[in-house]
Structure 1
Amino acid sequence: MKCVEAPSPNFNERQLPVTMIVLHYTGMPTAAEAIARLRDPSSEVSAHYVVDEDGTILRLVDDEKRAWHAGKSHWRDVEDVNSASIGIEIVNPGHDHGYRTFPEVQVDAVVRLVAHLKDRYEITRGNIVGHSDIAPQRKRDPGELFPWHRLARLRLALPRPTKNLMDPFWGEAAFCLALERFGYDVSDRMAAIMAFQRRFRPELIDGEIDAECRMILLALLLPKPQGDE
């Protein structure tokens, strides 16, 4: 991958092999502010890569090192997500500073980077996730405007299931048990449901378990979820 080197001192040694990719948005008014913070020793945050809105990819931390992007998080029994993941920050002001759609050239660069990392580390589609997936109580990024379907069509992320859907008629407890089995931390049920909706049903994020949510989750738990890939 062609990257601009912009080293950050904010890293330490991994304790786990790389099995995940976590996508974030920067959530700051400008790219310059976000990059400066990710390189500031006092901030104690970083990421492996930053993808700017013009498609430029910056490398801040070497893949072999543990960047500090996930914070307190959980995914599929992994508690030290920083050790197990590559963190990619996508420049976007986020929900607090004028959240907006991601430019095509930026998404193209994200696709190239994710494809490269997925192949290099043999990462499964189910372990290419958003920050909101691994930290639903705290985070909303990369948010409902991020085009996950672009990645799914290239088998770089799980698709939103659309075929052969069946309603299992789960109650709340059963739905959350299935959500936990899929990978989410469900200690805050409402937050976990909204994170799931933000990722797989972004047009309605209300924290309510309806038939569509149940059908999507059931399909995702099957060996080969079928969607518009």
Structure 2
Amino acid sequence: MTIIDTPSPNFDERTLPISMIVLHYTGMQDSASAIARLCDAEAKVSSHYVVDEDGTVLRLVPEDKRAWHAGRSHWRGTTDINSASVGIEIVNPGHEFGYRPFAGPQIDAVIRLVAAIKERHAITRGNVVGHSDIAPTRKRDPGELFPWSKLAKLRLALPRPTRNLMDPMWTEGGFLLALERFGYEVIEPMAAIMAFQRRFRPELIDGEVDAECRMILLALLLPKPQGDDD
């Protein structure tokens, strides 16, 4: 895969080994604006990679450095997500500027990039996450249109469980405890529930705990969640 070096000054040293991949959308009107901001020293934001809509991959920060893409975030007990992760920005205007499906060549490039990073650092499927997973009170990206199922079919992300589902009949409090055990921060319950839905039940994001949400989460907590994409 051809990668174009486009250095950003916005990075520092890691303090943790790489154990995660975080996927974002750029959320700006075009790729040029997004890349300019990620390379602007005054903006103090960056990512390791940017994937444009035509499949072009730019490297802004070397993987051994800490890019500034996650902000205040949390996943499975880790709070310095920037130190523990590789950040990939995927060009898309996002919810603010006309959110749209991701282009085929773009997703093909994301898949190749994620596969290479995942293998290089022995990252588990459960640690390939979206920005909304690690920052549910602040972020919605890469959003409900991101085709997680395509990554799951290649074992690059967790599948949406669809087989052997059972309803544990948790209360909302029980669901939130299970959600926290899975990895989410649940300080703001509705935000955490919606982030979970956006990732694993994107056709209905209402912040309500129902039987389907309970069944999906229970299956995800099992050693081998089974889904059509698995």
TM-score for both structures, normalised by structure 1:
1.00
What does residue 105 of structure 1 align with?
105
Q: Which runs of 5+ in 1 are unaligned?
A: none
Distance (Å, rounded) in 2 between the aligned partners of 1:161 and 1:104: 24
Query: Is residue 2:208 matched to residue 1:208?
Result: yes
Alignment of 1:9-24 (within 5 A): 9-24=9-24
Distance (Å, rounded) in 2 between the aligned partners of 1:224 and 1:7: 40
Distance (Å, rounded) in 1 between the aligned partners of 2:49 and 2:151: 17
Distance (Å, rounded) in 2 between the aligned partners of 1:164 and 1:209: 19
Distance (Å, rounded) in 2 between the aligned partners of 1:40 and 1:147: 30
What does residue 5 of structure 2 align with?
5
Distance (Å, rounded) in 2 between the aligned partners of 1:72 and 1:43: 16
Distance (Å, rounded) in 1 between the aligned partners of 2:62 and 2:228: 34
What does residue 71 of structure 1 align with?
71
What does residue 177 of structure 2 align with?
177
TM-score for both structures, normalised by structure 2:
0.99
Distance (Å, rounded) in 1 between the aligned partners of 2:71 and 2:226: 32
Q: Structure 1 runs of 4+ off > 3 angstroms?
A: none
Distance (Å, rounded) in 2 between the aligned partners of 1:65 and 1:118: 16
What does residue 148 of structure 1 align with?
148
- Cα distance, 1:2 vs structure 2: 1.8
- Cα distance, 1:25 vs structure 2: 0.0
What does residue 138 of structure 2 align with?
138
Q: Provide, for residues 137-191 of structure 1, a one-character-per-residue CA deviation record: whole Å limited to 9, x for no partner.
A: 0000000000000000000000000000000000011000000000000000000
What does residue 159 of structure 1 align with?
159
Aligned-residue Cα RMSD (Å) equals: 0.4
- What number of residue pairs does the alignment pair up? 229
- Cα distance, 1:198 vs structure 2: 0.1
Q: Secondary structure at the match of 2:106?
A: helix
Q: Secondary structure at the match of 2:66?
A: strand
Distance (Å, rounded) in 2 between the aligned partners of 1:155 and 1:228: 12
Q: Secondary structure at the match of 1:192?
A: helix
What does residue 119 of structure 1 align with?
119
- Cα distance, 1:228 vs structure 2: 1.3
Letter in 2 for 1:56: T
Q: Which runs of 5+ in 2 are unaligned?
A: none
Letter in 2 for 1:159: P
Query: Is residue 2:41 matched to residue 1:59?
Result: no
